[in-house]
Amino acid sequence: MQSYGLPVLATLLVWWFSTGAILYLNGLPRRTFAWSMAAASLLGALALYGLWAARDDASAGGAYLAFVCALGVWGWNEIGFLLGLVTGPRSEPCPEGATGLRRFVYATQTIIHHEILILVAAGAIAAVTWGGANDVGLWTYLILWAMRLSTKLNIFLGVPNVTVQFLPAHLAHLKSYFADRPMNLLFPFSVTAATVATVWLTVDLAAAPPGSFEATGLALLATLTALGLLEHWFLVIPLPFGELWSWGLASRSREGSIGDGARRTGDSTDIVGAERGVSAVSVAVATPLIPAFPLAAGTTHSGPQSRASWRDSVTCAGASR
């Protein structure tokens, strides 16, 4: 049992700590952002080297190393985004009345540089691990990417529990691109795919020799996928799970980066969380770790809506404020 429990516990601890650490750095004064990004870039480079060094290490230790290094590369991406350094060419709220494809294009323009960087990083991980026996790092990154993309699309299409506490003031314009709906058509497919992936990995895990490279890697990946599934459900089931990262918001509360920043831009503090987490870990590693994931207690948009409000919720509403 220990051979399975240790990877699960390690995934949970890394998910929790890395998400809080990124939130803490993001809440520091802007003058620290360059230093934070420089440190993250150094760690990201070391993580790529670690993935290269572990590419032929088919041991349990090699699986842990590849997993942590992949999270390091992912965290580098997330820090760049949440600090506002790598986002997209559009930094304004969505024009009032924009709907459909036009609204999707505008929303994409706010984050496209970040999405391209995620793709480039995925290519870099594939390159440094190509032909090796240890593919845990690559699969870790791809799972994070898939869960992140699914979460962002669901928030864009509309979910009831879009949170505000983790979105920094300098990304406040993102709130105008997300809808508030009881459900969207993509959500059932997202949770079904995540459930199937979790079960598949768990079945393979049960068949792997305990303590082996295969068992360790599968346990890490299955836990990460299960966390992604759980975070999808938190988009529709309101629970105060953002309290897990209250320590990560300590720097923000001291500087008043959300409240003061929102007032400086003429907005209320009701900022829709375009990036959760982290996750994470978005959020998660959220975000941050599993981006777009962490929820903040008491800050969800939930409850019944009229048909008219459903129609209004999918238009860009930020520009008229």
pLDDT in tens, 233-261: 988 887 776 677 777 777 775 554 443 43
Distance CA 317, CA 99 (A): 10
Report residue 67 CA to chain centroid gap: 16
pLDDT tens-digit series, residues 125-168: 999 999 999 999 999 999 999 999 999 999 899 988 876 566 77
Distance CA 284, CA 1 (A): 27
Residue 310 has pLDDT above 70, yes or no: no
Evaluate whether 265 touches 209 at the Cβ level (below 8 Å): no
Task: State the amino acid at position 177 in one-letter form.
Answer: Y
Least confident of 21-25, 106-110, 130-134, 135-139: 21-25
pLDDT at position 163 is: 63
Residue 267 has pLDDT above 70, yes or no: no
Residue 292 has pLDDT above 50, yes or no: no
pLDDT tens-digit series, residues 168-206: 788 888 888 878 888 899 999 999 999 999 999 999 999
Angle at 220 between CA 75 and CA 45, to 5 degrees: 30
Direct distance between the N- and C-terminal alpha carbons of the chain, in angstroms, rounded to an integer: 56
pTM confidence score: 0.80
Residue 56 has pLDDT above 90, yes or no: yes
Task: State the amino acid at position 303 in one-letter form.
Answer: G
Tokens 């770790």 correspond to: 289
- Higher-confidence residue: 316 or 11? 11
Q: What is the mean pLDDT of residues 38-58?
A: 97
